[in-house]
Amino acid sequence: MPGVTVATDSTHYLPRALADEQGIHQVSLYVGWQGEPERELEMDGFDAFYQRLGRDPELPITSQPSIGDFLAVWEPLLEAGRDVVSIHLAGGISGTCEAARQAHGLLSERGLGERVEVIDGETACGGTGLLLLAACAAARAGADITAVAARVREARAKLQIWFCLDTLEYLRRGGRVGKAQAWLGGTLKIKPILSLEYEIVPVERVRTAGRAFERMVAYARELSDSGADGWVVQHIQAGEQSQRLIDRCREIFDSEPVFTSEVGPVIGTYTGPGLIGVGALPRSLLS
Protein backbone atom coordinates (compact mmCIF):
# COMPACT_ATOMS: atom_id res chain seq x y z
CA MET A 1 0.00 0.00 0.00
CA PRO A 2 1.54 3.34 -1.00
CA GLY A 3 2.05 5.99 1.62
CA VAL A 4 0.17 9.28 1.66
CA THR A 5 1.78 12.69 1.25
CA VAL A 6 0.04 15.90 2.30
CA ALA A 7 0.06 18.88 -0.05
CA THR A 8 -1.37 22.38 0.16
CA ASP A 9 -1.01 25.93 -1.12
CA SER A 10 1.00 28.75 0.44
CA THR A 11 -1.79 30.33 2.52
CA HIS A 12 -1.46 28.16 5.65
CA TYR A 13 1.50 30.13 7.06
CA LEU A 14 2.82 27.34 9.21
CA PRO A 15 6.35 28.14 10.34
CA ARG A 16 8.54 27.00 7.46
CA ALA A 17 10.59 24.68 9.64
CA LEU A 18 7.44 22.94 10.86
CA ALA A 19 6.05 22.50 7.33
CA ASP A 20 9.39 21.03 6.21
CA GLU A 21 9.59 18.76 9.24
CA GLN A 22 6.10 17.43 8.49
CA GLY A 23 7.00 16.79 4.84
CA ILE A 24 4.23 19.02 3.49
CA HIS A 25 4.49 19.79 -0.22
CA GLN A 26 3.38 23.26 -1.28
CA VAL A 27 2.04 25.05 -4.34
CA SER A 28 2.58 28.81 -4.24
CA LEU A 29 0.06 31.55 -4.90
CA TYR A 30 1.28 34.78 -6.47
CA VAL A 31 1.17 38.33 -5.11
CA GLY A 32 2.56 41.71 -6.10
CA TRP A 33 1.82 45.09 -7.56
CA GLN A 34 1.04 45.51 -11.24
CA GLY A 35 3.75 43.83 -13.27
CA GLU A 36 5.60 42.58 -10.17
CA PRO A 37 4.10 39.17 -9.30
CA GLU A 38 6.09 36.98 -6.92
CA ARG A 39 5.64 33.45 -5.70
CA GLU A 40 4.60 33.86 -2.10
CA LEU A 41 6.72 30.90 -1.04
CA GLU A 42 9.84 32.60 -2.41
CA MET A 43 9.40 35.86 -0.49
CA ASP A 44 12.13 36.49 2.07
CA GLY A 45 10.16 37.99 4.93
CA PHE A 46 7.02 40.11 4.84
CA ASP A 47 8.02 43.44 6.42
CA ALA A 48 8.81 45.27 3.18
CA PHE A 49 5.56 44.09 1.60
CA TYR A 50 3.44 45.32 4.49
CA GLN A 51 5.25 48.63 4.68
CA ARG A 52 4.41 49.27 1.03
CA LEU A 53 0.84 47.99 1.49
CA GLY A 54 0.30 50.62 4.17
CA ARG A 55 1.38 53.53 1.98
CA ASP A 56 0.62 52.54 -1.63
CA PRO A 57 -2.81 53.67 -2.90
CA GLU A 58 -2.81 50.75 -5.32
CA LEU A 59 -3.75 47.35 -3.89
CA PRO A 60 -1.51 44.42 -4.83
CA ILE A 61 -2.81 41.73 -7.16
CA THR A 62 -3.06 38.14 -5.98
CA SER A 63 -3.50 35.12 -8.22
CA GLN A 64 -4.05 31.43 -7.74
CA PRO A 65 -1.61 28.75 -8.90
CA SER A 66 -1.96 27.45 -12.44
CA ILE A 67 -3.04 23.91 -13.21
CA GLY A 68 0.57 23.26 -14.18
CA ASP A 69 1.76 24.46 -10.77
CA PHE A 70 -0.32 21.79 -9.07
CA LEU A 71 0.79 19.06 -11.44
CA ALA A 72 4.44 20.03 -10.94
CA VAL A 73 4.05 19.25 -7.23
CA TRP A 74 1.79 16.20 -7.45
CA GLU A 75 3.29 14.28 -10.37
CA PRO A 76 6.72 13.55 -8.81
CA LEU A 77 4.94 12.25 -5.71
CA LEU A 78 2.72 9.97 -7.78
CA GLU A 79 5.74 8.73 -9.72
CA ALA A 80 7.42 7.91 -6.41
CA GLY A 81 4.44 5.75 -5.45
CA ARG A 82 2.83 8.21 -3.06
CA ASP A 83 -0.86 9.08 -2.90
CA VAL A 84 -1.68 12.74 -2.25
CA VAL A 85 -4.20 14.54 -0.07
CA SER A 86 -4.16 18.19 -1.15
CA ILE A 87 -5.87 20.70 1.18
CA HIS A 88 -6.60 24.23 -0.01
CA LEU A 89 -7.73 27.75 0.75
CA ALA A 90 -11.49 28.30 1.10
CA GLY A 91 -13.27 28.36 -2.24
CA GLY A 92 -15.44 31.24 -1.10
CA ILE A 93 -12.51 33.64 -1.19
CA SER A 94 -10.21 32.15 -3.85
CA GLY A 95 -10.23 30.09 -7.02
CA THR A 96 -7.26 28.07 -5.77
CA CYS A 97 -9.21 24.94 -4.89
CA GLU A 98 -11.10 25.05 -8.19
CA ALA A 99 -7.77 25.21 -10.04
CA ALA A 100 -6.63 22.19 -8.02
CA ARG A 101 -9.80 20.35 -9.02
CA GLN A 102 -9.13 21.14 -12.68
CA ALA A 103 -5.62 19.73 -12.31
CA HIS A 104 -7.14 16.67 -10.65
CA GLY A 105 -9.46 16.30 -13.65
CA LEU A 106 -6.44 16.02 -15.96
CA LEU A 107 -4.99 13.31 -13.74
CA SER A 108 -8.33 11.50 -13.82
CA GLU A 109 -8.15 11.41 -17.62
CA ARG A 110 -4.86 9.54 -17.21
CA GLY A 111 -6.31 7.07 -14.73
CA LEU A 112 -4.61 8.68 -11.70
CA GLY A 113 -7.58 10.48 -10.17
CA GLU A 114 -8.08 8.01 -7.34
CA ARG A 115 -4.56 8.68 -6.10
CA VAL A 116 -5.15 12.39 -5.40
CA GLU A 117 -7.82 13.76 -3.07
CA VAL A 118 -8.49 17.51 -3.33
CA ILE A 119 -10.16 19.06 -0.27
CA ASP A 120 -11.55 22.56 0.11
CA GLY A 121 -10.43 23.36 3.65
CA GLU A 122 -13.13 26.06 3.89
CA THR A 123 -10.68 28.07 5.98
CA ALA A 124 -7.30 29.76 5.67
CA CYS A 125 -4.10 30.56 7.57
CA GLY A 126 -3.97 28.92 11.01
CA GLY A 127 -7.12 26.94 10.28
CA THR A 128 -5.52 25.37 7.22
CA GLY A 129 -2.34 24.78 9.19
CA LEU A 130 -4.22 22.76 11.80
CA LEU A 131 -5.95 20.69 9.10
CA LEU A 132 -2.57 19.96 7.53
CA LEU A 133 -1.12 18.79 10.83
CA ALA A 134 -4.15 16.56 11.40
CA ALA A 135 -3.65 15.04 7.94
CA CYS A 136 0.07 14.51 8.55
CA ALA A 137 -0.63 12.75 11.85
CA ALA A 138 -3.00 10.32 10.14
CA ALA A 139 -0.57 9.73 7.27
CA ARG A 140 2.30 9.03 9.69
CA ALA A 141 0.12 6.46 11.42
CA GLY A 142 -0.24 4.58 8.14
CA ALA A 143 -3.72 5.70 7.13
CA ASP A 144 -4.60 5.34 3.45
CA ILE A 145 -5.80 8.22 1.28
CA THR A 146 -9.45 7.72 2.24
CA ALA A 147 -8.69 7.68 5.95
CA VAL A 148 -6.41 10.72 5.77
CA ALA A 149 -9.11 12.66 3.93
CA ALA A 150 -11.65 11.56 6.54
CA ARG A 151 -9.37 12.86 9.32
CA VAL A 152 -9.18 16.23 7.55
CA ARG A 153 -12.96 16.46 7.29
CA GLU A 154 -13.37 15.49 10.94
CA ALA A 155 -10.84 18.14 11.93
CA ARG A 156 -12.61 20.76 9.81
CA ALA A 157 -15.92 19.98 11.50
CA LYS A 158 -14.34 20.67 14.89
CA LEU A 159 -12.14 23.61 13.89
CA GLN A 160 -13.07 27.05 15.18
CA ILE A 161 -11.21 30.24 14.34
CA TRP A 162 -11.72 33.97 14.90
CA PHE A 163 -9.68 36.96 13.82
CA CYS A 164 -9.98 40.69 14.37
CA LEU A 165 -8.89 43.40 11.96
CA ASP A 166 -7.70 46.93 12.48
CA THR A 167 -10.08 48.06 9.71
CA LEU A 168 -12.51 46.70 7.10
CA GLU A 169 -10.92 48.93 4.45
CA TYR A 170 -8.71 46.23 2.90
CA LEU A 171 -11.54 43.70 2.67
CA ARG A 172 -13.69 46.37 1.05
CA ARG A 173 -11.03 47.37 -1.47
CA GLY A 174 -10.19 43.76 -2.29
CA GLY A 175 -13.80 42.62 -2.65
CA ARG A 176 -13.44 39.74 -0.19
CA VAL A 177 -15.83 41.04 2.47
CA GLY A 178 -18.28 38.13 2.13
CA LYS A 179 -21.19 38.09 4.57
CA ALA A 180 -19.80 41.14 6.37
CA GLN A 181 -20.98 43.25 3.41
CA ALA A 182 -23.74 44.83 5.51
CA TRP A 183 -21.11 46.31 7.83
CA LEU A 184 -19.82 48.49 5.00
CA GLY A 185 -22.93 50.66 5.16
CA GLY A 186 -21.65 52.40 8.28
CA THR A 187 -18.32 53.67 9.40
CA LEU A 188 -15.20 51.68 8.68
CA LYS A 189 -13.79 52.89 11.99
CA ILE A 190 -14.72 49.76 13.90
CA LYS A 191 -12.71 46.74 14.94
CA PRO A 192 -14.42 43.86 13.14
CA ILE A 193 -14.22 40.34 14.52
CA LEU A 194 -14.70 37.73 11.80
CA SER A 195 -14.57 34.02 11.11
CA LEU A 196 -14.11 32.01 7.92
CA GLU A 197 -16.61 29.31 7.01
CA TYR A 198 -16.01 28.91 3.26
CA GLU A 199 -16.35 32.72 3.04
CA ILE A 200 -15.83 35.61 5.44
CA VAL A 201 -18.45 35.53 8.21
CA PRO A 202 -19.08 38.49 10.55
CA VAL A 203 -19.01 37.73 14.26
CA GLU A 204 -19.00 41.02 16.14
CA ARG A 205 -18.13 44.72 15.86
CA VAL A 206 -16.38 46.56 18.65
CA ARG A 207 -15.16 50.14 18.92
CA THR A 208 -11.68 49.86 20.37
CA ALA A 209 -8.59 47.73 19.95
CA GLY A 210 -8.62 46.99 23.67
CA ARG A 211 -12.15 45.64 23.51
CA ALA A 212 -11.31 43.55 20.44
CA PHE A 213 -8.34 42.04 22.24
CA GLU A 214 -10.41 41.08 25.27
CA ARG A 215 -13.04 39.49 23.02
CA MET A 216 -10.31 37.35 21.46
CA VAL A 217 -9.23 36.27 24.95
CA ALA A 218 -12.83 35.44 25.83
CA TYR A 219 -13.14 33.41 22.64
CA ALA A 220 -9.99 31.47 23.52
CA ARG A 221 -11.61 30.66 26.84
CA GLU A 222 -14.71 29.39 25.02
CA LEU A 223 -12.51 27.19 22.86
CA SER A 224 -10.80 25.72 25.90
CA ASP A 225 -14.10 25.10 27.65
CA SER A 226 -15.41 23.26 24.57
CA GLY A 227 -12.43 20.90 24.50
CA ALA A 228 -10.71 22.52 21.52
CA ASP A 229 -7.30 22.56 23.19
CA GLY A 230 -4.90 22.47 20.22
CA TRP A 231 -4.56 26.21 19.74
CA VAL A 232 -2.78 28.65 17.44
CA VAL A 233 -2.26 32.40 17.32
CA GLN A 234 -1.36 34.35 14.18
CA HIS A 235 -0.93 38.02 13.37
CA ILE A 236 0.07 40.56 10.74
CA GLN A 237 2.61 43.18 11.83
CA ALA A 238 1.16 42.97 15.34
CA GLY A 239 3.89 41.18 17.23
CA GLU A 240 3.31 42.86 20.57
CA GLN A 241 -0.45 42.25 20.58
CA SER A 242 -0.04 38.66 19.42
CA GLN A 243 2.51 37.96 22.14
CA ARG A 244 0.07 39.31 24.73
CA LEU A 245 -2.60 37.00 23.29
CA ILE A 246 -0.20 34.04 23.35
CA ASP A 247 0.58 34.75 27.00
CA ARG A 248 -3.10 34.90 27.89
CA CYS A 249 -3.81 31.71 25.93
CA ARG A 250 -1.04 29.86 27.75
CA GLU A 251 -2.86 30.65 30.98
CA ILE A 252 -6.23 29.61 29.56
CA PHE A 253 -5.18 26.36 27.88
CA ASP A 254 -2.35 25.52 30.30
CA SER A 255 -0.28 24.41 27.30
CA GLU A 256 1.96 25.70 24.56
CA PRO A 257 0.50 26.62 21.15
CA VAL A 258 0.60 24.11 18.34
CA PHE A 259 2.31 26.92 16.43
CA THR A 260 2.35 30.70 16.08
CA SER A 261 3.31 32.71 13.00
CA GLU A 262 2.73 35.78 10.86
CA VAL A 263 0.18 35.67 8.04
CA GLY A 264 1.68 36.34 4.64
CA PRO A 265 0.93 38.73 1.78
CA VAL A 266 -1.70 36.80 -0.19
CA ILE A 267 -4.15 36.91 2.71
CA GLY A 268 -2.66 40.10 4.16
CA THR A 269 -3.55 42.00 0.99
CA TYR A 270 -7.21 41.65 1.96
CA THR A 271 -6.96 42.09 5.72
CA GLY A 272 -4.22 44.67 6.13
CA PRO A 273 -1.73 44.99 8.98
CA GLY A 274 -2.98 44.71 12.55
CA LEU A 275 -4.73 41.34 12.30
CA ILE A 276 -4.62 39.00 15.27
CA GLY A 277 -6.32 35.61 15.23
CA VAL A 278 -6.85 32.61 17.44
CA GLY A 279 -8.23 29.20 16.61
CA ALA A 280 -8.24 25.65 17.88
CA LEU A 281 -9.42 22.10 17.47
CA PRO A 282 -9.11 19.09 19.78
CA ARG A 283 -5.42 18.26 20.17
CA SER A 284 -6.28 14.55 19.89
CA LEU A 285 -6.83 15.06 16.15
CA LEU A 286 -3.18 16.07 15.79
CA SER A 287 -1.75 12.82 17.15
Domain CATH for 29: 3.40.50.10170
Q: Rounded CA gap, 94 and 170, in Å?
A: 16
Could you tell me if 253 and 220 are in contact, meaning their C-beta atoms sit under 8 angstroms apart? Answer: yes
Could you tell me if 258 and 231 are in contact, meaning their C-beta atoms sit under 8 angstroms apart? Answer: yes
Q: Are residues 10 and 152 in the same domain?
A: yes
- 35 by Cβ neighbours in 10 Å (0-12 / 13-18 / 19+) ranks as exposed
Q: Are residues 17 and 146 in the same domain?
A: yes
Structurally, the chain folds into a number of domains equal to 2
Q: Are residues 153 and 180 in the same domain?
A: no
Q: How many CB atoms lie within 10 A of CB 5?
A: 24
- 188: domain CATH number? 3.30.1180.10
pLDDT at 176: 61
Contacts of 18 (CB under 8 A, 6+ apart): 259
pLDDT at 244: 98
Q: Are residues 90 and 211 in the same domain?
A: no
Contacts of 113 (CB under 8 A, 6+ apart): 104, 105, 107
pLDDT at 243: 98
**What b/e sequence results for 188-225 when a residue is b if at least 16 CB atoms lie within 10 Å of its CB, and e otherwise?**
eebbbbbbbbebbebebbbeeeeebbebbeebbeebbe
Q: Are residues 190 and 151 in the same domain?
A: no
Q: Which of 122, 140, 157 is the last residue of a domain?
A: 157
Q: Are residues 98 and 239 in the same domain?
A: no
Could you tell me if 123 and 159 are in contact, meaning their C-beta atoms sit under 8 angstroms apart? Answer: yes
Q: Determine which helix (DSSP H) or strand (DSSP E) holds 232, and give its type and residue range.
A: strand 230-235
Q: Are residues 143 and 171 in the same domain?
A: no
Q: Rounded CA gap, 97 and 119, in Å?
A: 8
Q: Are residues 172 and 141 in the same domain?
A: no
pLDDT at 188: 55
Domain that residue 246 falls in: 160-286
Best CA proximity match to 257, nearest among 266, 265, 269, 248: 248
Q: Are residues 167 and 140 in the same domain?
A: no
Q: Which of 157, 176, 195 is the last residue of a domain?
A: 157
Q: Are residues 137 and 69 in the same domain?
A: yes
Q: Are residues 143 and 216 in the same domain?
A: no
Q: Which of 109, 127, 157 is the last residue of a domain?
A: 157
Coil, helix or strand for 283?
Answer: helix
pLDDT at 168: 82
pLDDT at 70: 98
pLDDT at 1: 43
pLDDT at 167: 86
- Residues of the chain short of pLDDT 50, as ranges, are 1
> 65: which DSSP letter?
P
Q: Are residues 222 and 137 in the same domain?
A: no
